[in-house]
Amino acid sequence: MSTLFTRRKVLTGMGLLGLGLLAGCDNSPKLNFKYGKDLSDKIMGRTFKLKNTEGETVTLSSYRGLMPVVFFGFTQCPAVCPTTLARAAQAKKLMGRDGEIMQVIFITLDPERDTPEILDKYVKAFDPSFEALYGTPEEIAVAAKEFGIFYEKIPAGDTYTLSHTATSFVFDTRGNLRLGLQASLTAQECAEDLLTVMEVC
């Protein structure tokens, strides 16, 4: 039974590959990015299961057909988080109509303070299409680990701030991880590499 299933999967895979070749798509396991990091051979970020701000459970497959751009942060972050979200909004604009399949997903690393209401208003202040995901601190820890995200609370007076990985992770429309965008890149550089991800079909 399982052998049959596997065979069927292989056949489907071959079929898709054939179609891809016919259509002139780039199916190569590696992509040539000008600025970001090729993550095509990295097995990560596949199994996260969190909630969107409407309370619905979402996984990577919820975004099939879109190009998810995943970034971890927190709304009380004064610098890198708003800068990265503003850059994503700008890159989306630069891509014109192609930008319509780009889906920015902001995952909070501070679920104790970031309520769904604040998260929703926060990401939508950058672009109305952006989504935020949250979960219990344990669920967030699992998702962060899945992406290899480092984060830690830093005491700040009576409260705390967070240090965290600032990379944006880009998947192709089939849900394969493709690209890592560092915080140092500009919106124009991101847009160019995002268009390269879109050449995959």
Partner 1 sequence: MTAVQHLKRLTLGLTLLGLAAHASAQVQVSDAWVRATVPGQPASGAFMTVTADVDSKLLRVASPVATDVQIHEMNMQDDVMRMGPVDSVALPAGKAVTLDPNGYHVMLMGLTGQIKEGDPVPLTLTVENAKGEQQAVEVKAIARGVDGMAPSHKH
Q: Which is nearer to partner 1, 55 or 78 (CB)?
A: 78
Could you write out the DSSP letters of every residue in 99-153?
A: GGGEEEEEEES-TTT--HHHHHHHHHTT-TT-EEEE--HHHHHHHHHHTT--EEE
At 191 the three-state DSSP class reads helix
The least distance separating partner 1 from the CB of residue 27, rounded to whole angstroms, comes to: 28
The least distance separating partner 1 from the CB of residue 16, rounded to whole angstroms, comes to: 33
77 is in an annotated binding site: yes
Q: Which is nearer to partner 1, 8 or 113 (CB)?
A: 113
Q: Which is nearer to partner 1, 62 or 167 (CB)?
A: 167
Inter-residue contact 170 to 180 (CB < 8 Å): yes
Instruction: Give Cα separations from 159 to 34, 42, 82, 152 (angstroms).
Output: 40, 36, 20, 13
Q: Which residues contact partner 1 by CB under 8 A?
A: 75-80, 82-83, 85-86, 89, 113, 115, 117-118, 121-122, 125-126, 150, 154, 156-159, 161-167, 180, 182-184
The least distance separating partner 1 from the CB of residue 115, rounded to whole angstroms, comes to: 7
Inter-residue contact 104 to 127 (CB < 8 Å): yes
Within its chain, how far is the Cα of 92 from the centroid?
A: 14
190 is in an annotated binding site: no
The least distance separating partner 1 from the CB of residue 180, rounded to whole angstroms, comes to: 8
Please name the residue ranges forming H helices in 44-95.
80-94
164 is in an annotated binding site: yes
Q: Which is nearer to partner 1, 84 or 196 (CB)?
A: 84
Annotated binding-site residue numbers for Cu cation: 77, 81, 164
